[in-house]
Structure formats: C-alpha cells, structure tokens
Amino acid sequence: MPPGFNIDSQDLMKVAIAVICGAMLGFERQYKNKTAGFRTIIVICLGSALYTMVAQKNGLLSNMNIVTGIGFIGAGVIFKDGFSVNGLTTAAVIWISAAIGMVVGAGGYGLALISTVITLCILILFHILEDYVDKIHRDRILALVFDSADDDNLLIVQDMIKNHHLAANVRHVGKKDGCLEAVIVVTGHKKDIHKLDQELLKMQQLKAF
C-alpha cells in the first residue's frame, strides 16, 4: 500500500461517523421526498470526509475542490418553476453535509455530530415555524385573464381582495387578443386566500386564473 494510505482504527471511525451524519441528514430529506435523498447525502458526506482524509495524509489542501464540486451538485437541485424557486433548502443541506464530512475527515467528531443535530433541528423545528408563518402571512400570485378588455373587471377583483382582508400588489396589467390580463400578488391569511379563490371561480368575467 502506498505511503500515507495505511488504514487504522481512526480512519474507520471517520468513515462510520461520516456515514451516520450523512444518514441522519439524508433521512430527513428522503422523508420529505426531496430531490437529494438518503443515499445522496450519505455519499456526499462520506466523499467529503475521504477527500479531507487523503489531503491530510498527503499534506495537500483539497478543501476548495470539495467546495467547488459541491457547488455544482447544489446548483443542480435548484430549479425555477414559474414565479417560484425550488430546491434551495436541499442545496443548503448538500452544502452543510459536505462541510460536516470535511470536519469528520479532519477528526472533529464532536463538532460534526453537534452540527448534524443542530442542522436537523433547524430543518424540522423551523419547518413547523415556517408553516405557521405561511398560514398567517401567505403570498399568492394570481395570473388573471378576463373575457373582455373592460378595466372595470380588474376593479371588481381588487374590491374582492379588499373584502377578504387581503393586501394586493398589481405586478402587470395588459391587453391581449381583446382580453384584459393582470398579475396580482395577494398577501394575507391562508384561509382568506382560499375564500378568494372560491369566489374567483364563480366570477363569470374571468376566462382563466
């Protein structure tokens, strides 16, 4: 075996802890049915640990290579869907799992385990908080197409929004093929937005929304 690659109990310990930390983070992503799940996060964490171990044994600095590689993987799980962006949290988990793997590879077992637990608490507990905040302060983008170019139709919708105790921010108003089009960002309680949706469905002047 080449010099610097002798396997000892510390190496095996690092591999085991990297797999455990990656599994803990990966299970949370898998449970929420995210793009990068159980196996992916484990491999990322383990790979980062191995790169760091090799670098230490050979007196190299491979941290930047790890960070660059993780940046490409993280960017791959982020995608834009219309007006929203998805995958940011999963990309952040990939990033932190790589960092935890590097800490394990450097021998910081306690710091790695503590960081894993803290990350899990953030992902689980703050998700509950986000759900509550989203319920009482939710943003909804309405893309409206009316069956005519009558501007009064937009005024009717704005009155409906006010009647449901919602705030409105008109992003776009235009006319196409004889129809009035508007994009409105509505903000307020989730239940009030749901009531607005039900009322819009009954609005005969609306061609689509």
pTM of the model: 0.66
Between residues 98 and 132, which one has the greater pLDDT?
98
Share of the chain above pLDDT 70, in %: 90
Under a CB-based contact definition with an 8 Å cutoff, are residues 86 and 70 in contact?
A: no
Contact 24/115 with Cβ under 8 angstroms? no
pLDDT digits (tens, 9 = 90+) for 18-39: 999 999 999 988 888 887 788 9
Least confident range of 33-42, 68-77, 90-99, 112-121 = 68-77
Which pLDDT score is estimated for 130? Answer: 76
Domain 137-208 sits in CATH at: 3.30.70.260
Query: Could you tell me which residues come within 8 angstroms of residue 33 by beta carbon, excluding any fewer than 6 positions away?
Result: none
pLDDT of 65 over the 70 cut:
no
Per-residue buried b or exposed e for 116-151, using 16+ beta carbons within 10 Å of the residue's own CB? beebbeebeeeeeeeeeeeeeebeeebebebeeeee
Return the domain boundaries, the chain: 9-135, 137-208
Q: What is the pLDDT of residue 96?
A: 92
- The C-alpha atoms of residue 130 and residue 126 are separated, in whole angstroms, by 6
Query: What's residue 5's pLDDT?
Result: 60
Residue 119: band (very low, low, confident or very high) from pLDDT cuts 50, 70, 90:
very high
Of the ranges 95-104, 159-168, 188-197, which is most confident?
95-104
Q: Which one, of 191, 129, 145, lies nearest residue 165 by Cα?
A: 191
Query: Is 189 a residue whose pLDDT tops 80?
Result: yes
Task: Give the C-alpha separation, 80 to 86, whole Å.
Answer: 6
Q: Which residues have CB under 8 Å from 208's CB, separation 6+?
A: 144, 145
- Distance (Å, whole) CA 21 – CA 36: 15
What percent of the chain lies above the pLDDT cut of 90? 22
